[in-house]
């Protein structure tokens, strides 16, 4: 059911020509798909989906990082010694660092 909902979000948020109308929704749905794949034992597909979510066009890095916690937790629980897990976590760390830099350089109101 979770996979179906994530698939529906991606389909509803993508134009017929492949243009992503709602990149944040799609990125979050890909993270959800990654969690499902990890729980089903498909580590490679899980980190592929997670990585695609992290590199997609998006507007809210803090929101994406928050949603990514679910995938991070599953990967750390099920695949703690795998290189693919380490690679995904490094990518997430880089995105998180970019988010911190963006917030620290933004003018305060």
11 pLDDT more than 90: yes
Q: What is the mean pLDDT of residues 31-37?
A: 97
Biggest CA-to-CA distance, the chain? 46
Backbone angles phi, psi at 78, to 5 degrees: -100, -30
> 28: which residues sit within 8 A by CB, 6+ positions away?
9, 53, 63, 64, 67
What mean pLDDT is reported for the chain?
90
User: Which pLDDT tens digit goes with each residue over 52-78?
Assistant: 999 887 668 888 888 899 999 999 999
Q: How much is the pLDDT for 95?
A: 87
Q: How much is the pLDDT for 30?
A: 96
- Give the whole-angstrom CA distance, residue 35 versus residue 51: 12
Within a 10 A sphere around the Cβ of 45, how many other Cβ atoms? 15
pTM: 0.85
């Amino acid at each position: 059911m979770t996979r179906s909902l994530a698939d529906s979000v991606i389909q509803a948020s993508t134009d017929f020509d492949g243009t992503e109308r709602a990149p944040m929704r799609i990125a979050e749905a890909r993270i959800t798909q990654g969690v499902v794949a990890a729980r089903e034992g498909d580590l490679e597909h899980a980190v592929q989906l997670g990585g695609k979510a992290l590199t997609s066009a998006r507007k809210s890095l803090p929101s994406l990082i928050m949603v990514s916690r679910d995938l991070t937790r599953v990967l750390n629980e099920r695949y703690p010694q795998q290189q693919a897990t380490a690679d995904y976590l490094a990518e997430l760390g880089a995105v998180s660092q970019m988010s911190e830099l963006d917030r620290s350089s933004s003018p305060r109101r």
